[in-house]
Amino acid sequence: MIQVISVPAFTDNYIWLITNEQRQFAAVVDPGDAQPVIEELQRRNMSPVAILITHHHRDHTGGIEKLLEAYPGLPVYGPASEYIAHMTRALGEGQQVVLEELGLSFTVMDVPGHTAGHIAYYGEDSLFCGDTLFGCGCGRVFDGTLGDLHQSLQRIAQLPAETLVYCTHEYTVDNIGFAKWVEPDNAALAVRLQSCWELLDSGRATVPFTLGDEFDTNPFLRTHIPEVIVKAEEIAGRETHTPADIFAVLRIWKDTEYD
């Protein structure tokens, strides 16, 4: 059975250690910084078996080299269409990552948008999605496109509602603030905000969360909801004709007015 350990890094990043009930081995997801990972592995007397990368940004890849110095020979998985230093196994849509020591496997999903080659790892009712989907939000568009990101989020939305989402930043409370701009009368946002503050006040993360939480509160997955459509048209000053159009209006609005 999968177990996941969070390793905080920088100001708001999470590096994930995928392990199992025995907790002898772990796969490391998006290690932007090696030191906290090494310290956590040593503290728990665990050995890493792989590094899984979702995209090329430095806060997700910066620790690879030092991890390989500490643990030579680790396979480094990552997106085939992006350059990742030290990557040994390039991955694309539908490929499998089998972690034999853990008895776990994951399917690769192409989820471009935040970056052009972004991938995610899905399996064991869990999604490791990097910076594509956040709690109550989504990533900015860098070298991908708004259309790509919308399509990627729609693909993620087809996964089961009970899927646990492991994104890599603690952005949920801030994102709820924007979601309230979009849907001020959505009662689920107030409930989620209270839950998030209770978690944070007790020293816990708001991540992971279920995909079902996102269906109720994330405006970027609610582009079919009448209230969201009305708000997008109000902001755009025109009619919106497709969910992708509504998504683009919201993402640009957040980029220019909220962040």
- The residues that are catalytic are 55, 57, 59-60, 114, 131, 169
Say which residues have a Cβ less than 8 Å from residue 66's Cβ, sequence separation at least 6: 34, 35, 38
Structure tokens at 214: 């996102």
2, 60, 161, 194, 233 from 137: Cα distances, Å: 26, 19, 16, 17, 19
- CA-wise closest residue to 74 among 97, 53, 50, 98: 50
β-bridge pairing 47-52 and 76-79: parallel
- Residue 126's φ and ψ, nearest 5 degrees, are -135, 145
Q: Is 169 annotated as a binding residue?
A: yes
Residue 203 DSSP one-character state: T
Q: Is 55 annotated as a binding residue?
A: yes
d(CA 64, CA 84): 9
The whole-angstrom distance between residue 126's C-alpha and the CA centroid of its chain comes to 11
Q: Is 59 annotated as a binding residue?
A: yes
Q: Is 57 annotated as a binding residue?
A: yes
With contact defined as beta carbons under 8 Å apart, do 164 and 205 qualify? no
Q: Dihedral (C-alpha) 117, 62, 59, 42: value to the nearest 10 degrees?
A: 120
Alpha-helical regions (H) of 84-202: 146-156, 172-182, 187-201
Q: Is 213 annotated as a binding residue?
A: no
With contact defined as beta carbons under 8 Å apart, do 67 and 51 qualify? yes
Q: Is 56 annotated as a binding residue?
A: no
Binding residues for Zn(2+): 55, 57, 59-60, 114, 131, 169
Q: Which residues are annotated as a binding site?
A: 55, 57, 59-60, 114, 131, 169
